[in-house]
Amino acid sequence: MSTENNALVQKIIDYIGYSDAAMTKAAAADKAQTEINEKLAHLIPEAVKACVENERIESHQKEALAAALQDPVRTMELVIKLAAHKNAAEMARLGTPVATKTASYDPTSSLTSGYVGARDGRLKASDVKLFTGLGLNPPTT
């Protein structure tokens, strides 16, 4: 009988040890979740404020956004939607040039121009050289 009692006592001691390990891990997980919830409580109002200030949401949508940010899946869905959203300032920039470009064609430098054979009706340097080479007076216009 003492061998059976020793085995039972050993099982009880092992059970207590396993229970202690499980409770320690549960306490650590609970502490980590509490820290995450505290960070969320601080960050969610900042996120809502930033979304309103940067015209990502309307001011009447603040409460709905704050509630949605509590759920991680909804948060990811909102990030995807907000990434595709453009505010008025971004829309105003669409289609505007990044830098001012100036035309590079100058008819007076037709001898070095990259636009061979370009016709514009004006007297070019190549015309003057042609007429001079032929011994003719170049046109005045």
Instruction: Per-residue pLDDT tens, the chain, 141 aa: give them.
Output: 578 888 888 999 999 999 999 999 999 999 999 999 899 889 999 999 988 888 888 889 899 989 989 888 998 888 888 777 776 777 777 777 767 666 665 656 656 666 666 666 778 788 888 999 999 998 876
Residues 87 and 136 in one domain: no
User: Residue 93's pLDDT is what?
Assistant: 73
Residue 28 has phi, psi (to 5 degrees) of -65, -40
Residues 116 and 83 in one domain: no
State pTM to two decimals. Answer: 0.46
Residues 6+ apart with CB under 8 A from 132: 138
Residues 75 and 113 in one domain: no
> Domain range holding 112?
106-141
Q: Contact 69/37 with Cβ under 8 angstroms? A: no
Residues 84 and 137 in one domain: no
Domain count, the chain: 2
CB count, 10 Å around CB of 73?
A: 8
